[in-house]
Amino acid sequence: MPLRLYNTLTQEVQPFAPLSDNTVRMYTCGPTVYDFAHIGNFRTFVFFDLLRRWLRASGFKLDHVMNITDVDDKIIRNAVAQNKTLEEYTAIYTKAFLDDCAALRLERPEHLARATENIAEMASAIHKLEDDGFTYRSDGSVYYRISKFKGYGKLSHNDFSGMVAGARVDVDNYDKADARDFALWKAAKPGEPSWDTEVGNGRPGWHIECSVMAIRYLGDTLDLHAGGIDLIFPHHENEIAQSEALTGKPFARFWVHSEFLFVEGQKMSKSLGNYYTLRDILAMGYSPEVVRFLLASVPYRKALNFTFAGLASAKTAIERLRNFKLRLETAKLPAGVNAAIADHATRALAGFREAMDDDLNTAEALASVYEYLRDANIALDAGEFQTGNLAGAHALLEQMDAVFEVLKPSASTDGMSEADIENLIAERTAAKKSRDFKRSDEIRAQLLESGVIIEDTKDGVRWKRK
RNA sequence: GGUGCGGUAGCCAAGUGGUAAGGCAAGGGUCUGCAAAACCCUUAUUCGUCGGUUCGAUCCCGACUCGCACCUCCA
């Protein structure tokens, strides 16, 4: 069966395919670069990456835009506090974000769109909304009048019909006509960055950038729009209101949302002391691919409980996969094909694909790989795994790694050269042969200290970096 | 209060109207000079509670209960 995704709009799992020319036009809500991104953010960004990879594995081409919000209240506040310009401040965290993404092996979207590079387009869109009567002004700011847009609430499935305009307006929203209304354009304030545009001097509201950049780079109707589940309301609801008012066409065919991440069962928050950036986790000695694997292995629509026990578990699980690959590369195999193992490889590959096609069920996809792994290891132990079984094993691993990408260790920063390692291993083997176990154990310890693990097998000694 | 999601072994986590995947941990074992590493085996008569439908329910329906998210900035 082809790829199926859960569409928040219809609240159903539906077959997914792009509308035209086999290219998926997708937009994902990226970071606001006011600080280092945390692991909760990366749960979502890892999900985007899995989605990208599986869409491509499904035979589609990608045209993917992700925004970088580089102007907003928090950024302005922090930049001012640090006596930096907006550009200086956001450059730091934009780079940090991209570095973190690279560490997590996240593919770069085809376009990264910065809000500040699309101000004129936003102003122009706001102007059009004003002309078409979707807005009103208050103290130089422009607000979207939600009551003008029928269908508001169709994504979040909220029914606002019983809501009396103004009835629940908070005191700090006194300048809005309706609690649901939101700012498209915020009038300039002294000491804050602003842009002089056709709708006045000021800066854009949060929601407008996504509508404008999505339409600018991808066209009026997207195939797919993704984000964290918390963005459904109001952000994505507002994007729909803006975009569909602008174009008169459906904004996105599929809306896909990833669930939240918790830390040790609790919502991550600075006050609880369980707030971690990716950098925090890496500084504790975990490798990026371990984090990636943990975030990827829980299906995206299920809340993920991030724990350090879970990280340790992910680390061991990856090592088992890597070790299997190492085994394939170093074992001396008899010629021929083991039909049962070959068949299992075929079934495992099909099972992996079917699980991924089923709304990206990564947990089930991995299970398919592990079941094969056990059978193959048993066959390897028994000497029944044959040269003709290598291709099937590698095909499965490659398919798995095309999605999860955890097999290749991150480049070690230090460590001895391969030649030195081989020399020491040769010396150890000689020492063992002459029953000089003291010397052989010394060498083993020395290698371990340099991060090299030795494994004695019946096919000889093999090694790997820690 | 409204909307939505979820409660499956010590932890993480799939799943189906026909009798519980997988990972980690734990225990046992193989291998080994000893280790390490690796590999294998074992580990839920039971799927929040109570009813209902059914020949049969963890899976369908209802009630209850617990937890969570969104409804305000938030991935």
If one compares A397 and A429, the residue with the highest pLDDT of the two is A397
Report yes or no: A139 and A234 within 8 Å, Cβ to Cβ.
no
In 3D, which of A97, A142, A148 has the Cα closest to residue A124? A142
Sign of CA dihedral A388, A392, A398, A404: negative
Q: Which nucleotide is nearest to A228 (CA to C1')?
A: B75
Q: Is the CB of A463 under 7 A from strand B?
A: no
Q: Is the CB of A312 under 7 A from strand B?
A: yes
- Residue A281 exposure: Cα atoms within 13 Å on the Cβ side: 30
- Average pLDDT across chain A, whole number: 92
Model confidence at A173: pLDDT above 60: no
CA distance A193 to A191: 7
Looking at residues A323-342, what average pLDDT do you find? 94
- Determine which helix (DSSP H) or strand (DSSP E) holds A42, and give its type and residue range: helix A39-57
Tens-place pLDDT, residues A366-395: 999 999 999 999 999 999 999 999 999 999
In 3D, which of A345, A337, A434, A319 has the Cα closest to residue A385? A337
What are the residue ranges spanned by the domains of chain A?
4-258, 272-404, 418-465
pLDDT class of A451 with cuts at 50, 70, 90: confident
Q: Is the CB of A442 under 7 A from strand B?
A: no
Strand B positions with any atom < 7 Å from protein CB? 2-6, 11-15, 21-25, 31-41, 68-75
* A 82-121: CB within 7 Å of strand B: none
- The per-residue pLDDT for A412 is 65
The domain A4-258 is placed in CATH, from the list 3.30.2310.20, 3.40.50.620, 3.20.10.10, 3.30.9.10, at 3.40.50.620
Which residues pair with residue A64 across a beta bridge?
A: A26
pLDDT class of A353 with cuts at 50, 70, 90: very high
User: Collapsing DSSP states into helix, strand and coil, what is residue A132?
Assistant: coil
* A 372-401: CB within 7 Å of strand B: 373-374, 377-378, 381
Tens-place pLDDT, residues A76-121: 999 999 999 999 999 999 999 999 999 999 999 999 999 999 999 9
- The per-residue pLDDT for A251 is 96
Tallying the residues shown for chain A, one arrives at 466
Looking at residues A297-309, what average pLDDT do you find? 93
Distance, first Cα to last Cα, chain A: 40
Model confidence at A426: pLDDT above 80: yes
Model confidence at A162: pLDDT above 70: no
Strands in A261-417 per DSSP E: 261-263, 266-267, 304-306
CATH number of the structural domain A272-404: 1.10.730.10
- Determine which helix (DSSP H) or strand (DSSP E) holds A197, and give its type and residue range: strand A195-197
Looking at residues A313-338, what average pLDDT do you find? 94
Amino acid residing at A319: E
What is the ipTM metric for this complex?
0.94
Tens-place pLDDT, residues A24-52: 999 999 999 999 999 999 999 999 999 99
